[in-house]
Structure formats: structure tokens, C-alpha cells
């Protein structure tokens, strides 16, 4: 980080999963680490709606460092975590973990960046495995005659009615409304 230390800030992010849990331990650790501001969410790690995390990410500026008490407080998954930290790196923002098995993560140091690159490589490997498993599952389903997606709402009878009405000069909008389907659905099934 080449930012001026007088303008750099340490910003903390704390998260507890339920209203019954208390974030005081995390707040104390982040304050002791020198965080000038701490953002805090009460949300499950699986919850994508974490408004305080969004606010923290918006608040951070180049040269700042985002600090979390433990790595699992930030990301829902390894892939999610790598995505967030990559976004910080692209904005010249550091990232540091205070405790836990991965407390060596500190992207403001060379060792921490190396360690995080190893984590990122593992996440990329995980992405690849997920992609391969998904593809294999889809191919197996297709071989068994199953296809994915929503079932069509256009039956042969509805299509015949739609074609007959279209031949009489009715607009697709009128036909769609009468049949209770969307115009886009009719456009996909009616010949030009």
C-alpha cells in the first residue's frame, strides 16, 4: 500500500448471526486493533442482505484497511470471500483478519498477500469443481430424458388456438391476454 498513513483508516466489520448473539467481543477486538469506525450486521452468514457490510465497503477509500475479527465474519463462502477481497484489492484497500486459523491474512503485507493468493487459488479450484459437477449433473439428467427449467405453459391446444387467432389478424398482446400467458411466451412459440 502506497497510501499516506495520515489519510489511511482502519475500518472494522463485525457480524453476529442472530439477535440473541452479542458482537461486543468483536467490537472490542476491532477497537483495540485501532479501527476508527466499526460497521456491524446482525445477519446469518448465508444472508446476502448485509446492509452494514455494504455501507462499510462503500465507506472504504484507497489506502484504508478493512479488518474483521475472524474470516468467517466476512464471507458466506470461500468464493464470496475471495470476491470481496479481490474487490478491495482492486480499489487499493487492504484486508486483515485478527484471530482464528487464518489470522495470517493481512493483504497489507507481502506474506499476507501470498497467503491470500493461496486461498484465492483454492476458491478458483472450488469454482471449477462446482462447475464440473453441475455440468455432469445436467448431462446425466439429459441422458435420462429430463430437462431443466420451468415447464412450458403453452400446450398443443393453446398453441393451436393462438395460431388460429393470429391467422385471423389478432395482435399477440390480445391473444396473450385472452390465453393468460405472456407476450414473450407467445413470441417464442408462434412462427414469425
Residue spans per domain, the chain: 10-124, 156-189
Q: What is the pLDDT of residue 101?
A: 72
Q: Measured between alpha carbons, how far is 11 from 107 in angstroms, rounded to an integer?
A: 14
CATH superfamily membership of 10-124: Resolvase, N-terminal catalytic domain (3.40.50.1390)
- Residue 3 has what pLDDT? 47
pLDDT for residue 133: 87
Q: Describe the crossing of helices 172-179 and 156-167 by its angle, rounded to 10 degrees.
A: 150
pLDDT of residue 107: 83
pLDDT at 2: 47
Q: Which residues are catalytic?
A: 17
pLDDT in tens, 92-125: 999 999 988 777 778 888 887 788 788 778 777 8
Q: State which residues of the chain have pLDDT below 50.
A: 1-4
pLDDT score, position 40: 92
For residue 9, what pLDDT is reported? 93
**44-48, long-range: CB within 8 Å, 24+ apart, which pairs?**
44/17, 44/18, 45/15, 45/17, 45/72, 45/75, 45/76, 46/76, 47/76, 48/76
The pLDDT value recorded for residue 31 is: 95
Question: What are the C-alpha distances in Å from 31 to residues 28, 35, 177?
Answer: 5, 5, 60
Give the pLDDT of residue 45: 60
pLDDT score at 70: 87
Amino acid at each position: 500500500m502506497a497510501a499516506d498513513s495520515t489519510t489511511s483508516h482502519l475500518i472494522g466489520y463485525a457480524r453476529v448471526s442472530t439477535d440473541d448473539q452479542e458482537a461486543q467481543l468483536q467490537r472490542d477486538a476491532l477497537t483495540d486493533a485501532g479501527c476508527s469506525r466499526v460497521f456491524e450486521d446482525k445477519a446469518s452468514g448465508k444472508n446476502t442482505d448485509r446492509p452494514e457490510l455494504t455501507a462499510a465497503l462503500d465507506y472504504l477509500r484507497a489506502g484504508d484497511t478493512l479488518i474483521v475479527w475472524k474470516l468467517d465474519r466476512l464471507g458466506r463462502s470461500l468464493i464470496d470471500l475471495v470476491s470481496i477481497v479481490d474487490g478491495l484489492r482492486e480499489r487499493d484497500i487492504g484486508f486483515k483478519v485478527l484471530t482464528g486459523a487464518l489470522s495470517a491474512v493481512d493483504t497489507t503485507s507481502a506474506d499476507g498477500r501470498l497467503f491470500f493468493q493461496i486461498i484465492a487459488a483454492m476458491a478458483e479450484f472450488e469454482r471449477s469443481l462446482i462447475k464440473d459437477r453441475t455440468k455432469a449433473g445436467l448431462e446425466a439428467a439429459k441422458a435420462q430424458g429430463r430437462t431443466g427449467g420451468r415447464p412450458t405453459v403453452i400446450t398443443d391446444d393453446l398453441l393451436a388456438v393462438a395460431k388460429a387467432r393470429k391467422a385471423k389478424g389478432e395482435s399477440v398482446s390480445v391473444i396473450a391476454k385472452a390465453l393468460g400467458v405472456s407476450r414473450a411466451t407467445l413470441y417464442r412459440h408462434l412462427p414469425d
